[in-house]
Amino acid sequence: MNRSTLTLLTGATALAAIPALAQQDTTFTRGERNTDLAPVEDSQFRAELVSSGIETEHETVVGGLVHPWGIEVLPGDGGYLVTEREGRLRHVSEDGTLSEPIEGLPEVDAREQGGLLDVALGPDFAEDRMIFWTYAKPVEGGVVTAAAKGRLNEDMTALSGVTDIFVQEPAVDAPMHFGSRILFDGEGHAFVTTGEHFTQENRQLAQDLDTTFGKVVRINLDGSAPEDNPFVGDENAIDTIWSYGHRNIQGALMMDGELWTIEHGPKGGDELNLTEAGKNYGWPVISYGEQYSGNPVGSGDAQQEGMEQPDYFWDPVIAPAGMLAYDGEMFADWQGDLLISSLYPGGIVRLEIADGTVTAEERLARDLGRVRDIAVDQDGSLLVVTDFEDGQLLRISTAGQS
């Protein structure tokens, strides 16, 4: 697809205000690499930078959110669910009315990167009003990534029947790298992504099949392990593990029946992966990045026998968080493209993909700073939450549509 010049908004406005328009800085260039590790295939790295030529505007739906992490769109005109990392789940109406915290959530460990994280509607929400979420769970010995479910009442003020369906093991006192996305495959399974809790010691556990550090886990909706998981029957492995060798997966989606994940690298080396059953994605043995100290990661190599190559990687990083495949009507030229929220340098990264290969990349809305999660509303507009002490839920629309 041919792309031309893009215009985006700068500065958030209230819903009732007239959105301001500003020309995007089209001089964006990628910075210098941290490593000189060459990709196996040219298509893994630095696809052509393009511009969409789409005039957009953004406006504030609601502000005053404290480090919002996850957003989910409710059916019809039901509004939105938003998590705040400190442990609050909020309902936001379409007109921007912010609810009091929804009652019934479990205790969270809100230190550092921990707290209340992702939120998702269950696959049968219209019938059972079940929602799912992930969080940093305080347990004996420290903290773990956990996933839970509960029934949201009709007036969206409280949860009932709250039950954990996944609890990471083992517990450690390292409140970093929790993962932590939850999504469904439409066949009765949930995928939960985890991190490896950052430290030099903990990261080694991403390669161990007797822990759920640095893994994607696949579970039935009651938390049990599906019989066709890749390590079922292996006495040396946890049977909920789907894939391993991950650093910190904060974005995931199902596309054409396949699981795609995006994870934070260290200094360089963020990765987009088609994430398949039983495969080893290399961390912390191989990476296209380096440690924050400047020392090599693991073996110092980016390729090794028996370890998967990323489908695409970034150096320097985009610090990826939420990710979706666009399927709305408002941005028709973006159908099927991946939209990724970026914490650093910020904004949204758009990828064009053909036959599983990234063919073009665009940087959007960089003036928004730390974008933690992204969703598509009923009308095809984009919803994003910004990860600040005074965070916002923002709507991005084509010009004249707000």
In this structure, are residues 246 and 283 in contact, taking their beta carbons and an 8 Å threshold? yes
Strand order across the 241-244 sheet: 182-184, 189-193, 215-220, 241-244
**Helix H or strand E segment including 145:** strand 142-152
Is residue 229 within 8 A of residue 237, CB to CB? The reply is no
Distance set, CA 298 to CA 142, 189, 397 (Å): 26, 33, 44
Catalytic residue among 91, 177, 197, 246: 177
Query: Nearest to residue 349, comparing CAs of 341, 337, 357?
Result: 341
320 and 347 Cβ atoms separated by less than 8 Å: no
Which residues face 349 on adjacent strands?
Answer: 340, 363
Helix, strand, coil percent values for the chain (each to nearest 5):
5, 40, 55
91: annotated active-site residue: no
**CA separation for the pair 145, 157 (Å, rounded):** 25
Give 384: exposed, middle or buried? Use CB within 10 Å, 0-12, 13-18, 19+: buried
Estimate to the nearest angstrom the gap between the alpha carbon of 74 and the chain centroid.
Answer: 19
Per-residue DSSP letter, 222: T
* Residue-by-residue DSSP string for 317-334: ---EEEEEE---STTGGG
Full strand arrangement of the beta sheet holding 249-255: 249-255, 258-263, 270-274, 312-314
CA–CA dist 73, 42 (Å, integer): 37
Which residues in 97-109 are b (16+ Cβ under 10 Å) and which e?
ebbebbebbbebb
The CA distance from 29 to 81, in Å, is 35
Q: Which residues participate in catalysis according to the annotation?
A: 177
